[in-house]
Structure 1
């Protein structure tokens, strides 16, 4: 493990993707409406059933806070939607979601390139761990023009497990040869922060996802409006 650097709080930052690097509703609630519309193929009753299965508000075109899809994996999202599509295999829906999600309309939480450039100048090791697929993560980071900023990218299917397990977070620590206590896990959900706490990492909650501050605060060392406030937290 690397020696601790007393001049800064952490030596590495591991980001969640959806709701953290990218604003959740501006990206995924918009995407989900298109998915529901496409899968229903013009059948309004089926749209209602799909929305109910996903706990998605069709009138407001956004996920409800309790939706199982918010923090779930691509497979879990497919299983959820399959309840309203009994004639379609879960595997078929899963593949459709993977390719559709890779083309989702991205809405970065902050201008990502300058933000990440600033972190890179401090020598921090940066990673992404998402419950999306690794394929989706790489597609989104590539489309945003920031994939080269990250030293580690993992999805639920990368072989390390999925959040809230600490295992994929510890895989980042091992790959970077860092003490977990010198890493900050940044995320918008309790899954992210639970995983961070279990891994022995520092935890930062951000409010660019569906969760409210009251939900995140008990699991977070800090709750910030968005990732753009991290440099101030580091300096403090």
Structure 2
């Protein structure tokens, strides 16, 4: 029986108007890194984020990798605050579906590769935090435990006291699908930006997710 859902946050519940990953890195992150004597090209940074290289790879630059990622996350939080001030962070219009899912008695978790503070910031921005029993951003004790690694999802399952077969993973990206499957879960791909192969179910939005869940009771 279905007892819970674990959601991705960025591009599943909220989005950033005009966001470009490379532009964000070169305009926001790189200047701050250079102020700390670090010069890391975008392509190498991208590979550490995608999992092609471990997060600890930056230690080759002579900096502790935990401190490096905390620095990046501090910049990311400043970026999110500025985008919020400019009205460029948006919640998808169907996020009210979270309330309907809670009314069904389901446990909900949110899991993001962003930092805990960044994740809580955007959820609080749209009064979404209260829908979730637990929220997990990246864990500095296990920086390679971000999706597609199932670590954060397994952490959420444990906190919810639920088993993988009792929970659906809901997300928009290949990392979400892969992490959910590695955790032994059924995965729902929200195809706002295109279909990801390997998911168990596909919905166009969270309204369709509610219909899908109702059919499982």
TM-score between both structures, scaled by the size of structure 2: 0.72
- Aligned CA distance change for structure 1 residues 68 and 233 (closer, same or farther; 3 Å): farther
Task: Tell me the CA shift for residue 101 of structure 1.
Answer: 2.9
**Map 1:128-147 → 2, pairs under 5 A:** 128-147=110-129
- Aligned CA distance change for structure 1 residues 32 and 147 (closer, same or farther; 3 Å): farther
- Aligned CA distance change for structure 1 residues 145 and 91 (closer, same or farther; 3 Å): closer
Match of 1:183 among 167, 184, 205: 167
Corresponding residue number in structure 1 for 2:208 = 229
Output the CA distance in 2 between the equivalents of 1:223 and 1:68.
Answer: 28
Corresponding residue number in structure 2 for 1:53 = 42
Task: Tell me the CA shift for residue 92 of structure 1.
Answer: 4.7
Corresponding residue number in structure 1 for 2:89 = 106
Secondary structure of the structure 1 residue equivalent to 2:42? helix
- Aligned CA distance change for structure 1 residues 39 and 175 (closer, same or farther; 3 Å): closer
What CA deviation, in whole Å up to 9, does each residue of 1:164-194 have, x standing for no partner? 1112111111111111111111111111111
**Map 1:68-217 → 2, pairs under 5 A:** 92-104=71-83, 105-112=88-95, 114-157=96-139, 159=141, 161-209=145-193, 212-213=194-195, 216-217=196-197
What CA deviation, in whole Å up to 9, does each residue of 1:48-74 have, x standing for no partner? xx9x936xxxxxxxxxxxx659867xx
Structure 1 unaligned residues grouped into runs of 5+: 42-49, 55-66, 83-88
**Equivalences, count:** 188
Output the CA distance in 1 between the equivalents of 2:181 and 2:203.
Answer: 17
Output the CA distance in 2 between the equivalents of 1:224 and 1:37.
Answer: 35
TM-score between both structures, scaled by the size of structure 1: 0.67
What CA deviation, in whole Å up to 9, does each residue of 1:61-116 have, x standing for no partner? xxxxxx659867xx96xx7xx9xxxxxx886555322322344332112342x311
- Aligned CA distance change for structure 1 residues 103 and 141 (closer, same or farther; 3 Å): farther
- Aligned CA distance change for structure 1 residues 90 and 133 (closer, same or farther; 3 Å): closer
RMSD: 3.2
